[in-house]
Chain A
């Protein structure tokens, strides 16, 4: 009995496989097709009737004690030979929509107006690499990050994805390029390649899906805006009705807070745990806790001396980042089409611990270095009518008192806490296009606040984007 079902399944699979594309139909060919189908079905029904008759005759001929043992159900189950072969998928007239390689292109551009020069942008209290991508970027019209995404199933066991980002300065970078398993089962998924780390909430999302034009200050100051790395990830989803997921990562540690370096081992390790669920039909939530460790060797950091002249320090050591994240979404009856609200917040705490060479081109004096940094943001985005959303974000950073050990007198210290308030309004003519106006009062630098205006468009071409949570 079992084997006959298996063969029935095989027939089905073969049938599914044979559902090949056919040329576009006009009414005549459609009619011919339908007629052919009709005739085919009539033939099949006739054949089935004959088989049924034969099976019934055979059953009559058998003594009643010979009933199959598997027939636990009351009543006489139909003998397997009498059951119709599973229906075949209807071939559709469309050319195959699932191409071998799914392509999507994000086009984005913006106009930026700032009251202070973006060239001297820094986040006070946070000593970051000179090439850190922080702040509002360039003034005036610019192409924002446009991105090409390619995705496909590789074979029955693997799936691949690559996201190639085109930067406004004509450079190209690989944001993500990874392969992942599709058939391990037991809630396990393995990923290898370059990918955005799953720590926190925003980190693993591509910039064009963010609700504001830029990353929160805490991400810019402690995760290098968005942490991606080359390595491995294992994800495990618990077999419970409550969503509970753990992801562990090992990587090269190529970007801030780590540095690319010549080592055999892993320069980065991370673990994140998330849980979530629904509250009634209208609300859903997700919350998690993540930990990231990255090693840095001779990492250049911009700083200034006690009289305010810029210097470069070199840091070697380890950075631990803890992230607590939570998101809560509301939509009446769970229908987000008309109105919905999304509240999200994250808290980051980073400790940098190791040795530091202060003023590499001047004093070049070695000493220890330890600093505990923290920061949070809280944002709410409300869709008050179809197509229109308004969002408010508030954020603040703290950097404690850095301990420069023997170099204490060589490095200048900041005072006051960086903070930023952002207001955003966006208009989404369709699921594939968005226009956004954003204004921010940025107090990351000492002195007057920087008023940042951004007018931005983001458009999605190609395959339908994913509605990730």
Chain B
């Protein structure tokens, strides 16, 4: 009898522990570091954020590993880029999570790219063109104006999912927008000398950045999106640069630096590593640092030696 009682007590305790998170912070799983940072800005102590990837990882090439399945299982809200960036792994996470709240179409499923105007939407999708995304280029986070737009939608979503704290989210969102808009104006002004500067990119990952700052992309090191740069293609790019010179070659923190360095050396142009997302460089500690550092690195690369 006492064993039964003890078992019941233990079961009760377990249930209490399991029920406890109902009053705890909103559990958010962000697919990429930039959205993790944004949720943190908008939610502060109200949210408990886990980030699925780091700035050192290629967001296309992630596997649905056990730790991510476990985090999806417990999430109240999943915040991802969308636009097929996570097409290889997010659907698997959602399927295996057994979590009804975060399935596509539910309030707990937020895709940032749904709220911004996408660029490079292909007229037709054919894999002979490489790993093109039918929904358009998914790397929307390289333009801070997109972050601002997404922040509005995300704040609304946080209020919807965690209605009890809606007022606090609204307040935090207003405060963030004020700070962010001022920062965007500052970055735009600082980056004015970059307008019209010709560059080479390693991956077609910066179309929004270029759109924002008026930078001109003259060549790409990957022969097709998602296809690793080959020696032959690098030679072609080098030949292209003889006719249309570029000021610098840009690659992201998570990418192999060797193709960019090879081109930099052979074409005699600056090689610029940009953080691409929060955590990509020491300076990119948060969203503000991300663009402080990106703009600073681009300006340094563009300045004549």
Contacts and interface: CB of A to CB of B under 8 A. Distances in A.
B117 interface: yes
Q: Report which residue of B118, B122, B160, B226 has the largest number of chain A beta carbons within 10 angstroms of its beta carbon.
A: B160
Contacts of A461: 127
Interface in B188-224: none
A465 B61 contact: no
Contact of A19 (B84, B114, B118): B114
A57 interface: no
Given A9-B160, A73-B167, A185 B101 contact: yes
B157 interface: yes
Interface in B74-130: 74, 84, 87-89, 91-92, 95-101, 103-105, 107, 114-118, 121-123, 125, 127, 130
B100 to A, nearest CB: 4
A241 interface: yes
Interface stretch (B1-9, B65-73, B285-293, B294-302): B65-73
B166 interface: yes
B54 interface: yes
Contacts of A448: none
Given A94-B121, A185-B99, A185-B101, A243 B166 contact: no
B69 A86 contact: no
Given A333-B57, A431-B131, A284 B66 contact: yes
A329 B71 CA distance: 19
A92 B118 contact: yes
Interface residues of B, number: 69
27 contacts: A12-B107, A12-B157, A73-B165, A73-B167, A77-B168, A78-B170, A80-B166, A89-B115, A90-B114, A153-B104, A185-B101, A187-B98, A187-B99, A189-B95, A235-B96, A274-B66, A277-B66, A334-B56, A337-B58, A337-B61, A429-B227, A430-B130, A432-B127, A461-B127, A464-B84, A467-B61, A469-B69
Interface of B: 18, 53-54, 56-58, 61-67, 69-71, 73-74, 84, 87-89, 91-92, 95-101, 103-105, 107, 114-118, 121-123, 125, 127, 130-131, 134-136, 149, 152-153, 156-157, 159-160, 163, 165-168, 170-171, 226-228, 254, 256
Interface of A: 1-2, 5-6, 8-9, 12-13, 16, 19, 24, 70-71, 73, 75, 77-78, 80, 83-84, 86-87, 89-90, 92-94, 97, 153, 156, 159, 180, 182-189, 235-245, 274-278, 281, 284-286, 329, 333-338, 386-387, 429-432, 461, 464-469
